Amino acid sequence: MRKFRKSEFLTRIMTFFVIGMVVMGQCEPAPAAGPVLHHDCVLAWDPNPEPDLAGYRVHLGRLPGVLTQNSDVGNVTQVLCSRVGATLNGQWFVAITAYNARGNESPRSIQLPFELTALPPPISLPQVSEPLAAELTVREPGFQLSWTDTNLYQASHRIEIATSLAPNWSTLTMLPPGGTRLSYFHPVDVEWVCYRVRAESGALVSQWAQASGPNHRQFCLTPTQATSIDQPYPLPWLILEPQSVRLAVMHPGFQLTWEDWNGSSAQQHVVSRIEILSSVNQRWTTLAVIKNGETRFAFDHPIDAEWMCFRVRSEINVFVSLWAADGSLNHRQFCYSPLS
């Protein structure tokens, strides 16, 4: 069997990402995490036509790029999600590889996000202890939620979020065993935001960590307000985009700087909006709105994300510029990996 060519394999596997998720139940959209699948699903992909193909492996994980659950499914082209370990509600990420009898394995296919919901809730048993000494520290515009894992064997931890705009609890992120801290940015365009955390091990879950007593298990705060524009009106020929943007990585944190070329006469009316996209929240959201002609934003605290991207633009009332360009006119985001 000849070695798989990456471009060829990814082309043949591409159907997997278009029609490869068969829902066993109803489906509804979830822009941040991919399709929402009820109860269970079927992963399916086009067969690789190599004559000495031996089988496929399914790679699953709860964090993007961290696919640690690996299942050899043999020479089949579809499998139940539950069969390969996707048995809990929440976000999942999956990729497929093919291999031959000599052990040669192809590169992973493009990663597919999906979310399971409406699965029977895990049974709460005392074998998994709730997080202790949980504490929420505010670091505008971010926060740090930390706790202690007292389980004999380290457990995973689920952090959920609820806000004034989305009051129902939803999963913010799932930390693998050994993680006892989430340092990240809270929403800045909501009236209130609450977090809660619990330990999980397989089908076993703990109580949510106590905030101030047995009956109070959520950590809430009022974040800094930064209004968003419901219907921005682009005027790139009148409002210039920020120029000479620089992303400087610090230890910890980062700094963004730029230049405003919109002139001193309009300076008092120009603001700069910074938006963020990351492995924790895969949707562009406002990080900060910088006023009074300032051209710098810095955050000097740890950030628990695999990767982060920023973009910045100028605004005058509802009129906005293009996002600042990074390298070329078609690339307008500035990215780095805080955990690397």
Q: What region, left, alpha or beta, does residue 8 occupy, with left being phi > 0 and alpha being psi -120 to 50 degrees?
A: alpha
* C-beta separation of 320 from 233 below 8 A: yes
The tokens describing 111, both together, are 């990663």
Instruction: Round to whole Å and give the CA distance between 241 and 258.
Output: 10
Instruction: Round to whole Å and give the CA distance between 191 and 197.
Output: 21
- Tell me which fold the domain 132-221 belongs to: Immunoglobulin-like (2.60.40)
> Residue written as tokens 């809270």?
186
Class of domain 6-117: mainly beta
* C-beta separation of 279 from 65 below 8 A: yes
* C-beta separation of 116 from 262 below 8 A: no
Class of domain 233-336: mainly beta
Through-space distance between the first and last CA atoms of the chain, rounded to whole angstroms: 36
Q: Do domains 132-221 and 233-336 have the same CATH topology?
A: yes
What are the pLDDT tens digits along the chain (340 aa)? 444 443 333 333 333 333 244 444 333 333 334 455 456 788 888 888 888 888 899 998 888 878 888 888 888 888 888 788 887 777 888 999 888 878 788 888 888 888 877 666 555 445 789 999 999 999 888 999 999 998 888 888 999 999 998 899 998 888 888 889 999 998 888 889 999 999 998 778 999 999 988 889 999 998 887 777 878 888 877 888 999 999 999 888 999 999 988 875 545 578 899 999 998 888 888 999 988 778 999 999 999 988 899 999 999 888 999 999 988 878 999 998 887 6
Instruction: Round to whole Å and give the CA distance between 52 and 100.
Output: 6
The tokens describing 96, both together, are 């497929």
What is the pTM for the complete model shown?
A: 0.61
Provide the sign of the torsion angle of the four alpha carbons 299, 300, 304, 308, taken in this order: positive
| Domain segments of the chain as ranges | 6-117, 132-221, 233-336
- What pLDDT, on a 0 to 100 scale, did the predictor assign at position 34? 46
Instruction: Round to whole Å and give the CA distance between 20 and 113.
Output: 12
